[in-house]
Structure formats: structure tokens, C-alpha cells
Amino acid sequence: MSEEIEAKLIPIFILSRMHMVPEGSTIITAMEYAGFKLKKGVGCREGFCGACASLYRLEGDFKLHGSLGCQTVVQPNMQIVQIPYTPSPKAIYDLETLNAEQEVFTNTYPELYRCLACNTCAKICPQEILVMDYVQAGIKGNLALMADLSFDCIMCGLCTTRCPAEITQFNAALLARRLYGKYLNKKGRFLEYRIKQILEGKFEEGYQELMNLPKEALTKRYFDRELNFNIT
Amino acid sequence: MKRIPYYPGCSLQTKAKHFETSAMAVAEALDYELVTLPRWNCCGAVHSLTTDDLMHHVAPVTTLLRSKEFSAENHLDDSRLVVLCAMCLNVLKRTNKRVQELLEDRTKINDFMYLENSKYDGSTIVIHFLELLREIGWETLSQKVKHPLSNLAVSPYYGCLLLRPKEVGIDNPEAPTIQEDLLKSLDAKVIENPLKNRCCGSYHTLVDKDVVAELGYDILINAQKAGAEIITTSCPLCAFNLDQRQENILKKHPDFTKIPVVYFTELMMIAFDLPLEKAGLDMHYVDPRPLLLKKEMLHE
Amino acid sequence: MAYPDYMRESIELVRQSRLKRIEIDKIGIQNVMTPLTEEGRKKVLSENHPDYTPDARKQIRIGPNAGEWLTTKVVEILESHSRLPKNFNLDQPDYETDVLVIGGGGAGCQAAIWARLHDAKVIISTKLRIGDANSMMSQGGMQAAVNPNDSPLIHYLDALGGGHFDNKPGLLKILTQEAPKAVKHLEDLGVIWDRIADGNLQTKTGGGTSRRRMLSSRDYTGAEIMRVLRDEVRNHPEDITVLEYFPAIELVKDQEGKVAGAILFHMETGEYAVVKAKTVIITTGGFGRLHIKDFPTTNHYGATMDGLVMAYRAGAKLLHMDSVQFHPTGAVYPAQILGFLITEKIRGFGGQPVNKYGELFVFPLEPRDVEASDYIQECRAGKGITTPDGHVGIWLDSPIIDLIHGSGTIEKNFPAMLRQYKRFDIDIRVDPMLVYPTLHYQNGGIEINEDTSTSIPGLFAAGECTGGVHGRNRLMGNSVLDYNVFGRISGIAAAKKAKETTISGKLHTDHIQQYEKEIQSAKIETTLKTPILLPEYRNLKNVSKHLDEYDPFLPAGL
């Protein structure tokens, strides 16, 4: 991306070496300015994929901050390292045979019950998710709450790097969300009905007509079509 | 209706769900609403006796702090925290005492919990539901009784954590009477069991069922010898060990006859003649309903 | 990084006109600001759309589409050398499998899941981590005709008109008719769709749709689907092998000329590996990171058109590679999020585009190319707002959403967007967003048949890397649908084909030598080696002094 403006340069430390980078850069763009060809620890660059999990510390601040490199603006004398990947156990399961109940974690992620409720996970989460709260919801068997609280999780893995109980929070949350989506989320009937219509070939004739219409007639039909934004 | 914060703990929303629902129903009959904390976590499960590992105290302190904030923000009538599980009560009260007395520990834990909205000052008062009932008054309770338990021989069981250590106990650790007083107000025939304070085996139940079965056998057989027909408890773990482990007792002692073990709140519901859907009488290993039917305390 | 004072004056005008504009919403915005007619669309497109500028297209000199006019940047990338070392030895394959899936995004994962269900062993090769893809980033939703007043036929007509009637009818029929089934399949895998109180699916409008057809999962729709698909892939390690940071760089063929695998290149170690496969599916996505006409992009870091390059070199025909989709609403301010996608769902919920005087100037839900051209036109007319670093944009009024639907609507439906701007001290519940069109989607691609097979045997393709489904302009919510529908079809087709395929004789890369000869005879002078794998964003002044000449990531044409 071409940034033609003369930006003020500030010092930051990447892998312990000082680099002067433009003020206002994100961690990712600052690293690129400093000459890093990013081959890992970078992804969508818009805060959705969780590939650019980073740890940093600020001058005069004891806290170890977790962030997404593409979303975090650098500050003077920041010390930065990226955590592109955290080895994390992933349970193997067949969603068809699991039940959406509390015991589901005893066979998949039993370490969930090791939670000390210390809340360290929430401190590091770049999405400001109440991680410990959703782990606790899982322990209590409240999968709906676990799914809701963890919804914005981008699975960057920072929570699991910091967890003193060594839980893989984000994988357990994904299982909770899948069970919620499959079994607990209340379903309406119309989708099944529409699929039945399709399987019965209800639209076949209409398709044949549209597909054989000359372009002119098709164009007219398109621009004349009704806009109807009601649901019924 | 007086509103008071309530902390469930993990068992109360899973295995011991009926303890919670029956307690809430009883409280409502006595004009109290137990308001569940919107954010709560595990109490810590076992009180840590270490002097330097403060990490295990973070969970209970978080709970105490959130209760304090919740009751203040929502202007609850009573700011004390009600607990049903004896284990939770014990952990919360002992931790509370520690952070009240040891300023250094309190500061360290508060510093660690920097994500919270405020600092914990040790001011949350934790009480067991039985204590709340005692405050309401045995006389008031007996006035609510529509269905006296007069011909039911009930033996209360306490276990350890409601009573010991005495600094956090809710009654005399050697000779408690709080459950007896309650049962008397329901007009039940109270049976004294000399082993009512004996340990139920606690978490040994996970690793060595036989240890728990042996302890349970002694406790139950003594109650039966004294004439008990049914046992009451106030702790989900004690309830599990005394009820569910009767299966293991029977394997070792074929002469043993099963005896129902229920929460005191279930009997209160019967005495108050409340709708029994929430009593959870069907959630026991030893079904109490045949006995209660025989005693004409249930309708078919 | 909140808005500077000089923008505040304009924001105040937007605020003042808001009440009047709520009234417009109540009447039905299509009744006040009517959608453009056929002639109106043509005019605004030809005068403003970047595809219509004189230097937008260039004639390609080599390969299956030789003589056709394609997007200039695409031609530059295609008319290039292979990055494969000379005399590369293919005698000892490092991996063997039934189906090789190149690309680990939504289409790739669907392909792998369904190929496995049809008894194939699968390898997924991906450049970054599995799931690190544009699929993860779509916020707004997926189209499917799931309302009683809608039907797959209306969906078909909407998409056809939006695509300027260039869509391949057979593909479009499959897309629209399979849509409800795709919704159900994702539901069965545990995707949490937004629903209304009775449990039926929540639907919103999108640009160019004549019904409410946009399904969503808050504004994490793509992320929700992608993380579920990825999890499902990982549930079958015995059948699906995932090779991360290990992208394919060229296809290989057998003695009958069938595509029979690929050569991979490891991003960290620099090693090559040969995969021998009975069939190959390309699911590598599009070209957003090529920054066509220097536009910023909404796209993932890895969207560099790699699969298209490999397929073209192997002889696969391309379709509609002369058209580029610019998303109307890319962020312009603050500079850190330049080009970021502002979901179309904002307009689906009633958000309105207004100029610097706070005036609504366009029907907010035109097809994307028309809507984008309108914004460009408004800015050219001097009615945009210029940022401190010289970019220009118009306002997308988001606060109006909470006024229309009640407070809390934005927080509930746009948590990602709210968080995104909050990081820069802007509250989109209070202030509008400054937007301008941004490079978003590769409308065309590898030409596919209805079973996703390509013009060369053994090669299948699905998702954004393909052409024909969307014509020359894709509608919102049809790409998520595309990769789910055609990802599935490709997995099944490639697995079935693999069963009846035997690889004949030695593997070879004669097509690469052949392509090189074409470059020579067309007298094309280039030092570029492709696929480029990752875009170049380094400030090379900082590193060029002693740069290792063997660095495989320094693009030769730089």
C-alpha cells in the first residue's frame, strides 16, 4: 500500500532489535517497513483470521499485552514478538453422535475442568472476550451461554498460551458453538419446506423458461421485476 | 419480596439442580427471592491451605467481589451472599476470612485481578441458606406448614464443611442443632444420629469408592438403628456419597437395606405443600417416593 | 484517531439530515431514491467504473486465451516465467493421494470434506494456515432464497442482471437452486445462523437483490462458516492431510496429458515437494492483493491469483478475466484501515450513503459495480470529503440503523465492525464511516463446467478462482454461497473421477517448457516469476543493501 505522506518515525523493538518506523503504523505494517517479509504471523489483515497474534510490552508497564498485529498501532519503545501458531490439542469427534450436554467435555476437552478461574485468559484476549466466563459456562453445562460469549473468538490461541491450567479454550468453545448451532438453536420449518420443493422439481420449469429466454426479454424481465422487501 | 444475591456453584446447576430449585421455591414461600449472580465462576472447589500459592484464592475472591458489585449495582435488599453447597460455603468463607485478615494477600490478589471493575475489600458476608432460614425464624416457618411431617422419622446429616473449622461453621461444630430445629418446625420426628458429623468421604468418591461406601455404611446404619426412615443433607457431595454409593455399600454388605437421602429443602416443599415438580424427588438413586407415599405425604 | 475537526462540520450536516432520512426509510427508500434503469446503469458505469478506463485492459499474447483483452495487471502476471527450477526432477513423488486440493479456504475445505465422504484420500496444500483466506473475512452473509415470497428463480434473475447477463446459465442455476441445501448442510455442521423469533432464518437485503435473501451470523458470517469447516476437516486426519505454509507452484501432468498432481514449495524451508494425485482441485481464490489500478483492497494477504497462473500455464481456459469488482464501501479513514471492508449488511440494515452535505444521493442497494461507480461520481463532483493523507470518500451513515431498528441493533449485529472502529476511537453508533470503493473480488477466473471440471482433464476448480458463475459482477452474498455449493460439487466430482483414473507413466512439466517457448516467440520481455505467492510490502530501502539474491520472495520484476 502506498503511503506517500511524510510520517514521523518512532523507535520500536522487533525481535529485540530497534527499528525506526512511521508513527501510526500497525504492528504488521511496521514490521514490513522495517524489512520483514511476513510469511507467517499474518493473514487477512482486517482482524478476522487470528493469524497475527502478537505479544508486546510497553515502556514502564508490567503488563504483557496480547493483540492482533494488523489491528494494533505501534507505540514508542514497544517490544514486539509474533505468536503465529500455538500447538493445541484438537479433539476428534463426530458431531452426529455427540450430545449437547455438560458431559460432552469430559470426553473431548476434559482439561476444561482444570480451570482455576484466574481470568488470565481474558487479560490477554485481543477480542476482549470473557474467556474465563465461557469456560465456566461450559463447566456448568451451559452451552448456549458458552456459544454466545465466545462468538467473536477468532481462534488466535493467545488464551491457551497464557492459561495456568493449560486449557485449549478456543477449541472447546468451537465445539460448544457447533453443538449449539446444530442442536440447541431453535429452527423454523420453512427451510426444510423449500428444500423439499427443490427436490420435487418445483422450479425446473421456471429455470428452463428463464434459461431459454432471449437476452432482450430477459433484460426487460430483470428491470421490470418487483422489489419486495417484506418477509412473508 | 426481599431480594438477596445467590451463588449456585457448579453442582447446583447440574447434578444437584433440584437442591437449587427446591430452595428457590421454599425461599419464595418465605418471601425471599434468591437472585442468581449473573457472572459467577467455580468457587475453587477445595480450599487451598498453602501460604504462598495465592492463585487458588483468586476464584473465590472473584466471586465475592462480583457479589458485592452485583448487590450494590442492583440495590438488592440484602447484600449478603446466600450459598447452598457446603463446599462452596466453606471455600468462600475461609478465603474471605483470609483476605480480611491478611492485607498483603488481599493486595496481591487484587493486583492480580486488575481486569475487574473494583477492588475487593473483604466486605461480602457469606451465609448458608440454613442460616437465612434460622433468621427468618423457626416460628415463622412452622406457621407456613400445611402438611406436618409428624409421622416421618428424619435423621439430619451435617458432614464436615458446614461446621468446621469453627471460625466459618454455621453452628456448634460438635453438637449442631440447626437442621434439627428446622425439622422440628416442620413437625418431623427427629432422629439423632451419633455419626451426623462424621466425614462422608468427600472427593475419595472419585478414586476409591470403597472408602466412601464404608464410611457411608457406618453413617447410614447408625441412623437406621436409631430409627431413621430418611436422611436429610445440605451438601451435594455428601448427598451423592450417601445416596449413590448405597449401590457400592450393598455389594459389600448384602444385609444393608437402602434408605432415601434428600435435601432438607425437598421436605420443606412437602411440608409447605408447594407444587412438587421442582422438588426433584425423582433425581435420587434411592427413590424417596415410595416411603413418602406410604406416609401419605404424596398424592398418587 | 477520532475524526479531525474539519470533518466534524460535515458530520454535523449528516446528523442534521438524519431525521429527514429516517422518514425516507419509512416510506421505503426505493420509492424516493429509485434504482437506476438500464441506461442509467450503463452511463454511470462507463463514466466512472475503473474497468472502463482506457488502460484497464490489455491483449494477452500467449496461452489458451491468447488474443483476448484481459485486465492489464492480470496480463502482466500471466505473461511471466515459472518459478520452478530448471530440470526439476519428478521421479520420486513425496506424497501420493487421490485428490489434491490446492488452497485451504472455504472452497478447499468443502471440497476436502466431500471428497472424503466419497471415499477419497485428500491432501490440502495451503500457503498460510488452513482457513487463512478471504472466506474467513466475509461479514455480511450468504444468499439463499429461504423466504416464502422468494424463490431460486428470483435469485437467479437478480444474479443474472447483476452480472450483466454474462453468467453461464447452467452454473447460475446450480448456484441458486443448491443454495437452501447449502444452508442446511452448514446448519448440520453446527453453523449458528441468525434467526428470527419463530426460528426461521433472519434475512436482510443486499445490493441488487429484489427480495430479502441475505443470511448471516452476526457480522462474522465468513469466520463462523470457515472455522466450522476447518474444524470438520481436522476431524478426519486419517483421510485428509493438511500441508500448511506449503503452497503449490506448478501443476504436473502424466503421459496422457492429464493433470496428475503438483509441485509444492515450502514457505519457510524453501524445499520443494512433488504430490502425485489422481485429480486436482484448484481453490486458491482471487487477485485482490494485486492492487489493480493501485486500489487498496479488502482481501486477504494471500489473494495473489496463484491457482489461475498454474492452471493457465497448464492450458486451462479463463473466462471473464476482464472485469474487476470494487466493493462500494471500503474504509478511507483512519489510514490504518484503508481499504478495509465495511459490510454491505450495513446498508441491508438501513445504513445510507450520503455526501459531505449530508445528502442521500443514490439508491443504497444497487449492484456493487453500479453503487461503487455512483460513489466515484459523487466524489469527482466534489461532494466527497478528503482525508488528511489525500484520500477521498463519502459518508456511510451507520447511526441511523439504531434509530430505525432500536438502540442495540448495531451492537448485536455488527460486533466486529463496532470493535474495528472502537480501536481507533470512533463509535459507529454515533458517527458515520468514511468510505470509498475498494478492490474486492475477481469476477472471472478459470472456466468451469457444471461439475467444476475445467478445459483440461484431471483439473477441477471451485470458488473465486473460477469464472462464469457471477458473470461480470457478483452480488453480495453469492461468493460465500459459491464456495459452499461448488466446493462441495468439486469434491464429489474429483473423488469420483479419481476412482476411475490411473496415472499414466512418468510425471512431467512439458507444459511449462511449452509456455516458456511461447513467451520467447511472442518476444515478451519480463523478469517476473510467478505465482507470486505473497505481495511485496517491504520498504526495500531498508533491506536492499545486502539482500540475498536467492531470496525466493524478492519478486524478480520489482
As given in the structure block, the three cell numbers for residue A231 are 418477509
- Do residues C335 and C188 both lie within one domain? no
What span, in angstroms and rounded, lies between the C-alpha atoms of C89 and C110? 32
Terminal CA-CA length for chain C: 34
Find, among B289, B271, B267, the residue nearest to B156 by Cα: B267
Residues 6+ apart with CB under 8 A from C381: none
pLDDT value of position C540: 75
Containing domain of residue C174, as a range? 81-323+443-499
Residue C487 inside a domain? The answer is yes
Residue C169 contacts A where some CB pair is shorter than 8 Å: yes
Residue C56 inside a domain? The answer is no
- Do residues C314 and C397 both lie within one domain? no
- Do residues C296 and C404 both lie within one domain? no
- Do residues C152 and C282 both lie within one domain? yes
* pLDDT value at C204 more than 60: yes
Does C531 sit behind a cis peptide bond, omega within 30 degrees of 0 on the bond before it?
A: yes
Distance from CA of A110 to the nearest CA of B (A): 15
* pLDDT value at C184 more than 70: yes
pLDDT value of position C544: 63
Do the chains contact at C537 and A1, CB–CB below 8 Å?
yes
- Do residues C364 and C415 both lie within one domain? yes
pLDDT value of position C218: 92
Residue C229: its chain A contacts at CB < 8 A? none
Residues 6+ apart with CB under 8 A from A112: A105, A135, A138, A139, A167, A172
* pLDDT value at C523 more than 90: yes
- Do residues A28 and A101 both lie within one domain? no
CATH of residue C202's domain is 3.50.50.60
Residue C543 contacts A where some CB pair is shorter than 8 Å: yes
- Do residues C396 and C461 both lie within one domain? no
CA angle at C504 for the pair C502 and C507, rounded to the nearest 5°: 120
- Do residues A38 and A114 both lie within one domain? no
Per-residue pLDDT, averaged over A109-113, amounts to 95
Residue A133: its chain B contacts at CB < 8 A? 39, 41
- Do residues C93 and C154 both lie within one domain? yes
All chains having 3 or more CB pairs closer than 8 angstroms to chain B: A
| Mutation site for C-interface testing, chosen from A14, A83, A227 by largest number of C Cβ within 10 Å | A227
Judging by beta carbons within 10 Å of its beta carbon (0-12, 13-18, 19+), is residue A140 exposed, middle or buried? Answer: buried
pLDDT, tens digit, 9 for 90 and up, residues A69-87: 999 999 999 999 999 889 9
pLDDT value of position A2: 43
| Mutation site for A-interface testing, chosen from B42, B47, B117 by largest number of A Cβ within 10 Å | B42
pLDDT value of position A1: 42
Per-residue pLDDT, averaged over C379-401, amounts to 95
What span, in angstroms and rounded, lies between the C-alpha atoms of C228 and C187? 10
CA angle at C479 for the pair C473 and C485, rounded to the nearest 5°: 125
pLDDT value of position C164: 95
Q: Give me the CATH topology for the region B2-129.
A: Glutathione S-transferase Yfyf (Class Pi); Chain A, domain 2 (1.20.1050)
What span, in angstroms and rounded, lies between the C-alpha atoms of A63 and B140? 54
pLDDT, tens digit, 9 for 90 and up, residues A136-145: 999 999 999 9
N residues, chain C: 558
Do the chains contact at B39 and A133, CB–CB below 8 Å?
yes
DSSP letter at A227 equals: P
Residue A115: its chain B contacts at CB < 8 A? 41-42
Model-level ipTM above the cut of 0.90: yes
Residue A141: its chain B contacts at CB < 8 A? 13-14
pLDDT value of position C556: 37
Q: Which residue among A39, A62, A82 closes a domain? A: A82
CATH of residue C351's domain is 3.90.700.10
CA closest to C338 among chain A residues: A1
* pLDDT value at C466 more than 80: yes
CA closest to B114 among chain A residues: A123
Do the chains contact at A117 and B42, CB–CB below 8 Å?
yes
Q: Which amino acid is at B223?
A: A
- Do residues A67 and A109 both lie within one domain? no
pLDDT value of position B51: 73
What span, in angstroms and rounded, lies between the C-alpha atoms of B68 and C205? 46
Residue A228 inside a domain? The answer is no
* pLDDT value at C269 more than 90: no
* pLDDT value at C554 more than 80: no
- Do residues A96 and A156 both lie within one domain? yes
Residue C309 inside a domain? The answer is yes
Residue A72: its chain C contacts at CB < 8 A? 423
Size of interface A-C (CB pairs under 8 A): 250
CA closest to B10 among chain A residues: A140
- Do residues A206 and A91 both lie within one domain? yes
All chains having 3 or more CB pairs closer than 8 angstroms to chain C: A
Residue A25 inside a domain? The answer is yes
Q: Domain-by-domain residue ranges, chain B?
A: 2-129, 146-294
| Mutation site for B-interface testing, chosen from A118, A142, A148 by largest number of B Cβ within 10 Å | A118
Residue C518 inside a domain? The answer is no
What span, in angstroms and rounded, lies between the C-alpha atoms of C306 and C287? 8
Residue C270 contacts A where some CB pair is shorter than 8 Å: no
User: What share of chain C in percent tops pLDDT 70?
Assistant: 97
Residue C336 contacts A where some CB pair is shorter than 8 Å: yes
Terminal CA-CA length for chain A: 46
Q: How far is CA A102 from CA A145, A186, B10, C105, in A?
A: 12, 19, 11, 32
Residue C14 inside a domain? The answer is yes
What span, in angstroms and rounded, lies between the C-alpha atoms of C393 and B220? 80
Distance from CA of A156 to the nearest CA of C (A): 11
pLDDT value of position C387: 92
Catalytic residue among C230, C300, C347, C488: C347
C347 annotated active-site: yes
| Mutation site for B-interface testing, chosen from A64, A104, A112, A116 by largest number of B Cβ within 10 Å | A116
- Do residues A131 and A60 both lie within one domain? no
Helix intervals (H) in B154-263: 178-185, 204-207, 209-225, 236-243, 246-252
Q: Which pLDDT tens digits describe chain B residue by residue (300 residues)?
A: 999 999 999 899 888 999 999 999 999 999 999 999 999 999 988 887 777 789 989 999 999 999 999 999 999 999 999 999 999 999 999 999 999 999 999 999 999 999 999 999 999 999 999 999 999 999 999 999 999 999 999 999 999 999 999 999 999 999 999 999 999 999 999 999 999 999 999 999 989 999 999 999 999 999 999 999 999 999 999 999 999 999 999 999 999 999 999 999 999 999 999 999 989 999 999 999 999 999 998 876
Q: Do chains A and B touch (3 or more CB pairs under 8 A)?
A: yes
Q: Which amino acid is at C194?
A: D
- Do residues A38 and A145 both lie within one domain? no
pLDDT value of position C546: 59
Do the chains contact at B62 and A117, CB–CB below 8 Å?
yes
Do the chains contact at C196 and A188, CB–CB below 8 Å?
yes
Residue A3 inside a domain? The answer is no
Q: Identify which of C1, C188, C190 has the shortest CB distance to residue A179.
A: C190
- Do residues A101 and A61 both lie within one domain? no
CATH of residue A22's domain is 3.10.20.740
* pLDDT value at A147 more than 90: yes
- Do residues A92 and A207 both lie within one domain? yes
Do the chains contact at C146 and A46, CB–CB below 8 Å?
no
CATH number of B146-294: 3.40.50.11810
Q: What phi and psi, each to the nearest 5 degrees, are found at residue C281?
A: -115, 130
C538 annotated active-site: no
Per-residue pLDDT, averaged over C49-72, amounts to 96
Q: How far is CA B99 from CA B51, B61, B122, C315, in A?
A: 12, 8, 6, 75
Residue C72 inside a domain? The answer is no
Residue A225 inside a domain? The answer is no
pLDDT value of position B48: 77
Do the chains contact at B41 and A117, CB–CB below 8 Å?
yes
Q: How many CA atoms lie within 13 Å of C22's alpha carbon, on the beta-carbon side?
A: 13
Find, among B167, B155, B31, B176, the residue nearest to B95 by Cα: B167
pLDDT value of position C553: 54
Containing domain of residue A90, as a range? 86-215
pLDDT value of position A231: 73
* pLDDT value at C547 more than 70: no
Tell me the three state secondary structure of residue A20.
Answer: strand
Report the domain count for chain C: 2
> Quick one: pLDDT band at residue C555, thresholds 50, 70, 90?
very low
CATH of residue A191's domain is 1.10.1060
Residue C113 inside a domain? The answer is yes
Q: How far is CA C257 from CA B139, C253, C282, C503, C505, in A?
A: 95, 5, 17, 10, 10
Catalytic residue among C116, C155, C211, C327: C327
pLDDT value of position C548: 55
Q: Do chains C and B touch (3 or more CB pairs under 8 A)?
A: no
A residues 52-111 lying closer than 8 A (beta carbon) to B: 102
- Do residues A127 and A76 both lie within one domain? no
- Do residues A166 and A200 both lie within one domain? yes
- Do residues C406 and C488 both lie within one domain? no
- Do residues C205 and C280 both lie within one domain? yes
Report the domain count for chain A: 2
Residue C543 inside a domain? The answer is no
- Do residues A57 and A102 both lie within one domain? no
CA closest to A73 among chain C residues: C336
Q: Which residue among C391, C413, C437 closes a domain? A: C437
pTM: 0.92
